[in-house]
Amino acid sequence: MTEFISKQLPNVKNDVLSGITVALALVPEAVAFAFVAGVDPLVGLYAAFMVGLITSVFGGRPGMISGATGALAVVMVSLVARGNDLGAPDENLGLYYLFATVILMGFIQITAGVLKLGKFVRLIPHPVMMGFVNGLAIVIFLSQLGMFKKQVGGEKVWLQGMELYLMIGLVGLTMLMMWVLPKFKLTAKMPEALLAILTISAVVILFKFDVATVGSFIREGGGEGLKGGLPKFQWEIFSKVPFNWTTIKFIFPYALILAAIGLIESLMTLNLIDDLTDTRGNGNKECLAQGSANIVTGLFGGMGGCAMIGQSIINIKSGGRTRLSGIVAALTLLAFILFASSYIEQVPIAALVGVMFMVVVGTFAWSSFRIINKVPRSDVFVIILVSALTVIFDLAIAVFAGVIVSALVFSWENAKRIRARKRMREDGTKVYEIWGPLFFGSISAFNQKFDPKNDPDHVEIDFVESRISDHSAIEAILNLVKKYEAENKTIHLKHLSEECKALLYKSDPRFHQIIINDIDDPRYHLAANPEEFPKSLSEYHL
């Protein structure tokens, strides 16, 4: 505990002020995502508090903010609606099925952490990361456009006339302040986002502008206000949701999708914060924390959540670096709910929209425009594809598609690199020197290099610049050996690594006679036994 506190002390002021700023930005986001999911605003706010607090204390990335997110909310809409259909109209069964699903989602995420699946985020290529941040920036931007509408006769319509101009003016003023304030020493004492929110709120209250506020936003969506009590344990889950195979079949697909989306968004946000802070987080630890947080959230009446890229960037840009910033954000949000609801409800939506628009500007990878003519076309295609799919569908589909396309491009490029240099020895043996990786993608090109019918009686295949990578490669070599043996010709393989030889010996005993082991070639011994490399320059005898 002493060590935990000592790590937070050097940046206490920045972490506390940044946490308060993040808490202000969390309120409309959590409320909006609760409305999207079709549940009460407090369900979203409780999720932001509980998920944010637990992941801040136990997560793998200090400074990263978690809470209720839109990526999860859009999946929950169908779940809540179908759950409501299973009971009476006033029974609200959908909410309790949501809680049960969030709990199961948490267990799936913990399983991913125990199996150390978090490390696989390293396999996500940089173009996918760029597409992810671009798509997410667009999603954040589009989500804020809804704030430029108002409720009229049961439907949302765009603001017009003076209402629209006033909204745009306040949003623009907030963005201008956040852009100008860092140029002055004033922001060394307080984050520019918090200063901008407080200033715009003061202007609106002082001049009595008739604009949308956090309070009017909540009431417009059907809520009664921000005020609530402490989260309560939801005993009703165990009485209203039957724990049987039918329920598992209903909620498991939703839980799996939510768990995947939550982990992908969290781990990619973790990587992004790593880059911004030049530090390294722990993906597996984050999986465990996210899962634990969602179990607790489901049991205490929250809609679940994951890392929030917008709020995380607000936190980092405002100076938040340690776990304290996330803890302060979560506790401040709870304080808003318990004690300061009347004050927070007066904060104009325009100020929060301005902050989020600056997050969009900071999130979007503008460098992607500069590198269009400097990187392979396949990478440009992946960036655009992932960006578009993130906006059209969701993050999980976008990332999976981006990784698959990148992997196919990589396989295709490597498949074209297989080469065979041919030469004849004085004794009449034909030698094929193979260059490039031998795997499923290069098998066809590899087979075309050989001519068993017209080759001499003795053939040797040299793998010193190649490597057998998979089962397809083993089968290709085995079939090639059979073709030469069918022509009554001898074939030998040389310069295979120890791993490659072990694979071939296991596949067919005849390779013990085909593979040449007694090789006097320093290149081969260095390649086959990398652990024997000198560990320092002092071990070289020059």
φ/ψ of 213, rounded to 5, equals -120, 175
520 pLDDT above the threshold of 70: no
How many whole angstroms separate alpha carbon 362 and alpha carbon 25?
Answer: 16
Q: How confident is the model at residue 487 (pLDDT cuts 50, 70, 90)?
A: very high
> Which residues sit opposite 430 in a β-bridge?
424, 459
109 neighbors 290 (Cβ within 8 angstroms): yes
**Cβ 469 vs Cβ 418: under 8 Å:** no
Q: Note the pLDDT tens digit of each residue in 373-407.
A: 889 999 999 999 999 998 888 777 888 899 999 99
State the alpha helices, DSSP H only, in 230-322.
236-240, 245-277, 283-299, 309-317
Angle between helices 192-207 and 161-180 (to 10 degrees): 150
- What is the pLDDT confidence band of residue 185, given thresholds at 50, 70 and 90? low
Average pLDDT on 115-131 reads 84
Write out the two tokens for 505.
């010996």
Q: Which of these, 246, 225, 207, lies nearest to 97 by C-alpha position?
A: 246
Please state whether the predicted TM-score (pTM) of the whole model is above 0.75. no
**Does residue 532 carry a pLDDT above 50?**
no
Flag whether pLDDT at 413 surpasses 90: no
Nearest to 404 by CA among 418, 389, 416, 391: 389
Instruction: In whole angstroms, give the CA distance from residue 266 to residue 376.
Output: 28
Judge whether residue 540 has pLDDT over 70: no
In the chain, domain spans: 16-370, 416-532
DSSP 325: H
Average per-residue pLDDT in the chain? 86
Six token digits for residue 152: 């009229």
Q: Which two tokens stand for residue 364?
A: 């979007």
User: Is the pLDDT assigned to residue 244 strictly greater than 70?
Assistant: yes
Contact 319, 178 (CB under 8 A): no
Instruction: Report the C-alpha gap between 492 and 471 in whole angstroms.
Output: 20
| Contact between residue 208 and residue 358 where contact means Cβ atoms under 8 Å apart | no
Residue 161's Cα: distance from chain center in Å? Answer: 40
CB atoms within 10 A of CB 311: 30
In terms of Cβ atoms closer than 10 Å to its own Cβ (0-12, 13-18, 19+), residue 226 is buried
Distance in angstroms (rounded) separating the CA atoms of residues 94 and 38 = 9
Fold of 416-532: Transcription Regulator spoIIAA (3.30.750)
Alpha helix (H) residue ranges in 70-160: 70-85, 93-114, 126-145
Q: Would you say residue 77 has pLDDT above 90?
A: no
Average pLDDT over residues 33-59: 89
8 has a pLDDT exceeding 70: no
Answer whether 375's CB lies under 8 Å from 359's CB: no
Predicted confidence at residue 539, as pLDDT, reads 41
Neighbours of 83 (CB within 10 A): 27
- 537 confidence band (pLDDT: 50, 70, 90): very low
Cα 265 to the chain's mean position, in Å? 3
Angle at the Cα of 510 (from 504 to 513), degrees rounded to 5? 100
